[in-house]
Amino acid sequence: MPLANGRQYLAIPGPSVMPDEVLKAMHRASPNIYKGELHDLTHSLIPDLKYVAQTEAHVAIYIGNGHSAWEASLMNVTSRGDTVLVAEAGSFGKGWAEMADAMGLTAEILSFSEDGPVDPQGIEDALRKDTKGKIKAVLVCHVDTSTGGKSDIAAIRAAMDAAGHDALLMVDCIASLGCDRYEMDAWGIDVTVSACQKGLMTPAGLAFVHFNDKAMARRGDNVSRYWDWSLRVDPEVYFMHFNGTAPTHHLYGLRVALDMIKEEGIKNVWARHEGLAQMIWAALETWAQDGPMKINVPDRTARSWAVTSVFAGPGNGLALQDWCETQTGLTLGIGLGREPSDAYYRIGHMGHVNAHMIMGVLGTIGGGLTALGIPHGQGALQAAADELARHTPVKRSDQLIQAKGNHSNPEPASQCC
Ligand SMILES: *Cc1c(COP(=O)(O)O)cnc(C)c1O
């Protein structure tokens, strides 16, 4: 008999879990779009969007999803016929290349293994060969959501500098913004592409492009009025922020989501995601000691803190997702990119996620492994719990003082339930 009724948990790599505070902020009548509160609120988002990406660069907000940000970013810095170098190690890198190709650009693709990061040396070599300076930009996903692989963006910048090439560095951090450490300015990124429905905990519909002055100066002849970022960052009239009616309710939701991130502190947000990822890895690595399961990316330093792709054996990935959804109310991500796709599943652990939610996901997967007869190592949940304890140490002397206090002030009987 299914045990699925209760609060459903969507543990896919976007859209992510929305905080009740975000949903509540959106549950209201439309505001006046011509003046007042909405204008102030929109302006207040800009410094906070810079803060989450750790940058002083400009930021344009678009009504759109991540794909729209891919297109917007390319349009503003290229002319038709230009060449861009796409370093890819998964489906999302390939997708950005396809987008460039469809826009009349030549996408030169550097492919890397789909169980790890892109290799900065490969980028350096490709740029050194480009003696005529044909390559206008290097495109890379910080995290490729299909594989769970994370690339070292600072090392890529260093490789570009070593090659002495002046291509722009354009980074898709859709799966990592507000989850993994991401430092646009410190890492020398020229253009950052992101969206609101993953680490920023807001329903899909807003896309962001951060760009520095160097990128702004690269303006080609490809940009349409709608996607032109320069009109959006410093408009004379409010409606040009969005080239039309503002996405009013998304802005209310995003305001609260950014407040939550600011209150926690971006570094603490990163540390939380890192700790939760380590709980997941501890469990998966224990299961992997016996049977087919393994984390797609073997190298811990190249693993995302927000999404994990897991090989579970042919048919097993799909069976596990199906069992979790129908029997327990947990929705896992489908295998994406890797073949056979039914051998894989993904866990989204981005945004509004905490330790007990992760323990719930892991315990549920553990139940599925047994129910489906998938062989696995023992002790995974204890390994995750130990990892949790390691991240949350407590001074025992504080507990003893508290215990004494409770003894002299017993709880009223009426509160016993
Ligand atoms: C989710 C995602 C995208 C696509 O975003 P959409 O909103 O689905 O268009 C692109 N790149 C990465 C790395 C992503 O995680």
CATH of residue 337: 3.90.1150.10
Q: Decide if pLDDT at 294 tops 70.
A: yes
Regarding whether 280 and 246 lie in a shared domain, the answer is no
Region 121-127: what's the mean pLDDT? 98
Domain assignment present for 131: yes
DSSP state for residue 110 in the 8-state scheme: E
The Cα 380–Cα 386 span in angstroms is 10
Residue 398 pLDDT exceeds 70: no
Each residue of 335-375: pLDDT tens digit?
998 999 999 999 999 999 999 999 999 999 999 999 999 99
Binding residues for substrate: 346
For residue 400, tell me if it sits in a domain: no
Instruction: Supply the residue whose CA is at minimum distance from atom 8 of ligand 1.
Output: 66
Rounded distance from Cα 70 to ligand 1 centre (Å): 9
What domain count does the chain have? 2
Do residues 79 and 155 both lie within one domain? yes
pLDDT of amino acid 402: 61
Assess whether 74 and 119 both reside in one domain.
yes
Identify the band that residue 377 occupies on the pLDDT scale cut at 50, 70 and 90: very high
The minimum-distance atom of ligand 1 relative to the CA of 195 is 7
Query: Same structural domain for residues 74 and 186?
Result: yes
Report how far ligand 1's centroid is from the alpha carbon of 112 (Å).
19
Establish whether residue 145 lines the binding site of ligand 1, counting it when its CB lies within 6 angstroms of any ligand atom: yes
Same domain, 239 and 104: yes
Residues 254 and 384 occupy one common structural domain: no
* Same domain, yes or no: 334 and 187: no
Note whether 86 and 189 are same-domain residues: yes
Helix or strand holding residue 88 (H, E)? strand 83-88
Res. 413 pLDDT band, cuts 50 70 90: low
Query: How much is the average pLDDT of 284-301?
Result: 98
Q: Confirm whether 248 is domain-assigned.
A: yes
| From 114, 174, 200, 201, mutation site for ligand 1 pocket: most ligand atoms within 8 A of C-beta | 174
Contacts of 302 (CB under 8 A, 6+ apart): 116, 117, 149, 150, 151, 152
pLDDT of residue 186: 98
Question: Above 70 in pLDDT, residue 230?
Answer: yes
pLDDT per residue over 55-107, tens digit each? 999 999 999 999 999 999 999 999 999 999 999 999 999 999 999 999 999 99
- Beta carbons of 170 and 140 less than 8 angstroms apart: yes
Residue 13 CA, ligand 1 centroid: distance in Å: 9
Name the percent of the chain lying above pLDDT 90.
93
- Residue 67 CA: nearest ligand 1 atom is 9
- Domain assignment of residue 415, yes or no: no
Domain boundary among 246, 263, 280: 263
Q: Are residue 225 and residue 344 in the same domain, yes or no? A: no
Residue 405 binned pLDDT confidence (cut-offs 50, 70, 90) = low
pLDDT interval class at 395 (50, 70, 90): confident
Q: How is residue 22 written in tokens?
A: 């975000």
In the predicted model, what is the mean pLDDT of residues 267-279?
98
| 112 and 150 part of one domain | yes
Residue 107 lies in a domain: yes
Interval between CA 205 and ligand 1 midpoint (Å)? 12
pLDDT mean over 277-284: 98
For residue 396, what pLDDT is reported? 81
pLDDT over 80 (residue 408): no
Mutate to test the pocket of ligand 1, among 74, 139, 145 (most ligand atoms within 8 A of CB): 145
Whether 237 and 284 map to the same domain: the answer is no
Same domain, 254 and 283: no
Q: Which domain, by its residues, includes 368?
A: 9-14+265-391
Whether 269 contacts 306, CB under 8 Å: no
Averaged pLDDT score across all residues of the chain: 95
Sheet with 83-88, side-by-side order of all strands = 58-63, 206-211, 191-195, 168-172, 135-141, 83-88, 106-111
| Ligand 1 atom nearest to CA at 69 | 9
Tell whether the model's pLDDT for residue 407 goes beyond 60: no
For residue 134, give the CATH number of its domain.
Answer: 3.40.640.10
Distance 66 CA to ligand 1 centre (A): 5
Last residue of one domain, picked from the residues 242, 263, 284: 263
In angstroms, the CA 207 to CA 194 distance is 6
Quick one: average pLDDT of 222-237? Answer: 93
